[in-house]
C-alpha cells in the first residue's frame, strides 16, 4: 500500500513525472534500435554470430549492448567506445596540463572536456567499426551479405555503426539532462537487464528439464543470488563511513560543536568510487584479447584464449588487480583531499594534533588510502564472484554473470543512484521518499 502511495506521489509531481516519461521514451528508442539490423545483412543468417556470443568476453559485450552485438544492429558497438574515450581522457587528465587546466575551470572546462571525449569516441568507433565488420565476414556465411564484401557495404556499415554509437551517446546525455539518473549508466543497465530473463530461462531449463539438480538447486541459486544482491547494495551505498574528527576554536578558547552538541566529523566513505572502477576495468579487459586476435602467432592465440575466458584464472586475476588500481585512481579524482584541507583551513577548522594545510591534506590522503584498500578488495571480490559460481555451482555462463560481477554491480549501482534522485524530488515536495516510510509530509510555513 505504501509503495502504491509513493507511486501516486511521484505521479503528482509534474516535473518528476515528465522526466520519468522522457527517460522511458528514450530507452524505448534505444531498445528499438538494438533490433535494427545493419543494411545489407540478412537477419536470418545471424546464427553464427549468436553462437559466438553465447559465452566468453564477447558474451559479456553482447550483454552490455542488450543483444545488439549478436543482432548485427546499428547499435552493435553500444556505448562502450564512449566509456573507453572517457577513461582515456580521465587518465590523460593526470599528465596533460591542458586537461588539468580545463578541470579547474568549472562548468566551461567540463563542456570542453565533454567535447574532447565525443571526438575521441568517434575516433575509437572508426577503429572498432571495421573490426566488427571483419568479424562478421569471418563468422557469417557469404549469403548473409546481400551486397557482398564491396567497399560500398563496408564503408556504409562503418559509418552507420559510428552514427549508432554517437546517437546512443546522445540518448544517454539527453536522459541525464532531461530525464532521471545518469543516462550512459542507465543505457548499460537496460542492456544488461534485457538479457536477464533469457539467462534465467536457460538456467531453469538446464536444472529442471535436463535433471541437473532440479527445482531445489534453482531455489538454492536464487537464495545465493539475493544474498549477493544485498552485499552489492551495501557495497555500492558504502554504508560504513570512517569519521575524521575536526574542530574550530571558539572565542572562549574551547571547541565549537554542532547542533547535536557533539564534535564535528568529516565522513570518509569506505567505497567512495561506486561502480566506476568496475566499468573502467571491464572496458580495459576488452583490449588484450582484441589486440592479440590481430596476430596469428601461437603465443598470441594462446593469449587470446586465456583473456577471452571471463571465468578463467588469468582473466579474473588481471580484472581483480585492475579494479583495485582504478578504485584508488577514481577515489583520488573524486575525493580531493587537498581541497578538503584548504576548505577546512579557510573556515578556521583543523584536525586535532595535525597542522592545517598540507599536513592535514597528507593526513586525509593517508586515511583514504587505508580505508580504500579493504573497499577495493571487497569490490573486486564481488566482481570476480561469477567465476567461483561457475566452478562451484556449475551455473550456465549467462546466468553466472548476474552472480556479482560487472553486470550485477552496474545494475545495483545505477538503480540506487536513480532511486536517490527520485527520493530527492519527493522530499523536496514534502513527500516521503522511496527510502523512508510514513505519511506525506506537511510543508513548513
Q: State the DSSP code for 38.
A: P
Give pLDDT, residue 445. Answer: 32
Strands 241-248, 264-269: pairing kind: antiparallel
Tell whether pTM > 0.85.
no
To the nearest 10°, report the CA torsion of 94, 100, 103, 109: -130
| Secondary structure element (H or E) that encloses residue 242, with its range | strand 241-248
C-alpha cell of residue 304? 587470446
The HSE-up count of residue 12 (CA atoms within 13 Å, CB side) is 13
Taking each helix axis from N to C end, the angle separating 298-308 and 56-64, rounded to the nearest 10 degrees, works out to 50
Residue 300, pLDDT score:
66
DSSP 142-193: GGGBTTTT-HHHHHHHHHHHHHHHHHHHHHHHHHHHHSSS-HHHHHHHHHHH
Q: Take residue 184 and report the three cell numbers written for it.
A: 550512459
User: What pLDDT, on the 0 to 100 scale, is given for residue 247?
Assistant: 57
The three three-digit cell numbers of residue 35, written as one number: 533490433
pLDDT of 442: 44
Cα–Cα distance, 395 to 437 (Å, whole number): 38
User: Considering only CA atoms, which of 262, 183, 227, 202 is closest in space to residue 25?
Assistant: 183
pLDDT of residue 226: 87
List the domains of the chain with CATH numbers: 1-13+196-445 (1.10.3370.10), 34-179 (no CATH)
CA-closest candidate to residue 104, choices 336, 283, 278: 336
Mean pLDDT by 10 residues, the chain (445 residues): 73 85 92 90 85 75 83 89 86 81 82 90 90 87 86 91 93 90 86 85 83 82 86 67 57 50 63 76 74 64 75 88 88 78 77 80 83 84 86 81 78 82 77 50 39
C-alpha 65/C-alpha 282 separation (Å) is: 14
* Angle at CA of residue 19, ends 79 and 190, nearest 5°: 35
Predicted confidence (pLDDT) per residue in 406-416, tens digit: 778 788 878 88
What pLDDT, on the 0 to 100 scale, is given for residue 6? 74
What integer pLDDT is reported at residue 290 of this predicted model? Answer: 63
Q: Give 46's contacts (C-beta < 8 A, 6+ positions apart).
A: 37, 70, 71, 72, 140, 144
Amino acid at each position: 500500500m505504501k509503495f502504491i502511495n509513493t507511486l501516486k506521489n511521484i505521479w503528482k509531481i509534474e516535473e518528476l513525472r515528465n522526466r520519468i516519461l522522457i527517460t522511458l521514451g528514450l530507452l524505448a528508442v534505444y531498445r528499438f534500435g538494438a533490433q535494427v539490423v545493419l543494411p545489407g545483412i540478412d537477419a536470418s543468417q545471424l546464427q553464427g554470430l549468436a553462437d559466438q556470443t553465447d559465452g566468453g568476453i564477447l558474451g559479456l559485450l553482447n550483454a552490455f549492448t542488450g543483444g545488439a552485438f549478436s543482432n548485427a544492429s546499428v547499435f552493435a558497438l553500444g556505448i562502450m567506445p564512449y566509456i573507453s574515450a572517457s577513461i582515456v581522457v580521465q587518465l590523460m587528465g593526470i599528465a596533460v596540463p591542458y586537461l588539468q587546466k580545463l578541470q579547474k575551470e568549472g562548468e566551461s572546462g567540463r563542456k570542453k572536456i565533454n567535447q574532447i571525449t565525443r571526438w575521441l569516441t568517434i575516433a575509437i568507433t572508426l577503429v572498432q567499426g571495421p573490426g566488427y565488420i571483419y568479424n562478421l565476414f569471418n563468422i557469417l556465411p557469404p549469403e548473409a551479405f546481400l551486397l557482398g564484401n564491396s567497399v560500398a557495404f563496408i564503408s556504409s556499415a562503418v559509418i552507420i555503426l559510428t552514427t549508432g554509437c554517437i546517437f546512443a551517446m546522445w540518448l544517454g546525455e539527453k536522459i541525464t539532462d532531461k530525464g532521471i539518473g545518469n543516462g550512459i549508466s542507465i543505457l548499460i543497465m537496460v542492456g544488461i537487464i534485457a538479457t536477464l530473463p533469457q539467462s534465467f530461462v536457460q538456467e531453469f531449463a538446464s536444472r529442471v528439464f535436463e535433471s541437473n539438480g532440479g527445482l531445489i538447486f534453482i531455489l538454492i541459486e536464487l537464495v545465493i543470488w539475493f544474498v549477493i544482491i544485498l552485499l552489492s547494495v551495501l557495497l555500492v551505498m558504502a554504508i560504513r563511513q570512517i569519521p575524521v574528527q575536526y574542530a574550530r576554536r571558539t572565542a572562549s578558547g574551547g571547541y565549537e560543536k554542532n547542533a547535536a552538541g557533539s564534535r564535528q566529523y568529516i565522513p570518509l566513505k569506505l567505497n567512495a568510487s561506486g561502480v566506476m572502477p568496475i566499468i573502467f576495468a571491464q572496458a580495459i579487459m576488452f583490449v588484450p584479447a582484441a589486440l592479440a586476435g590481430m596476430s596469428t602467432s601461437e603465443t598470441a592465440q594462446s593469449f587470446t584464449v586465456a583473456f577471452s575466458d571471463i571465468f578463467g584464472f588469468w582473466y579474473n586475476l588481471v580484472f581483480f588487480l585492475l579494479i583495485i588500481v582504478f578504485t584508488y585512481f577514481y577515489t583520488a579524482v573524486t575525493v580531493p583531499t587537498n581541497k578538503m584541507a584548504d576548505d577546512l583551513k579557510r573556515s578556521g577548522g583543523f584536525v586535532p594534533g595535525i597542522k592545517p594545510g598540507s599536513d592535514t591534506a597528507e593526513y586525509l590522503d593517508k586515511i583514504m588510502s587505508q580505508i580504500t584498500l579493504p573497499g577495493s578488495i571487497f569490490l573486486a571480490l564481488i566482481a570476480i564472484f561469477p567465476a567461483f559460481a561457475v566452478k562451484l555451482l556449475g551455473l550456465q555462463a549467462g546466468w553466472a554473470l548476474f552472480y556479482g560481477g560487472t553486470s550485477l554491480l552496474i545494475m545495483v549501482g545505477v538503480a540506487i543512484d536513480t532511486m536517490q534522485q527520485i527520493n530527492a524530488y519527493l522530499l523536496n515536495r514534502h513527500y516521503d521518499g522511496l527510502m523512508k516510510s510514513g505519511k506525506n509530509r506537511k510543508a513548513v510555513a
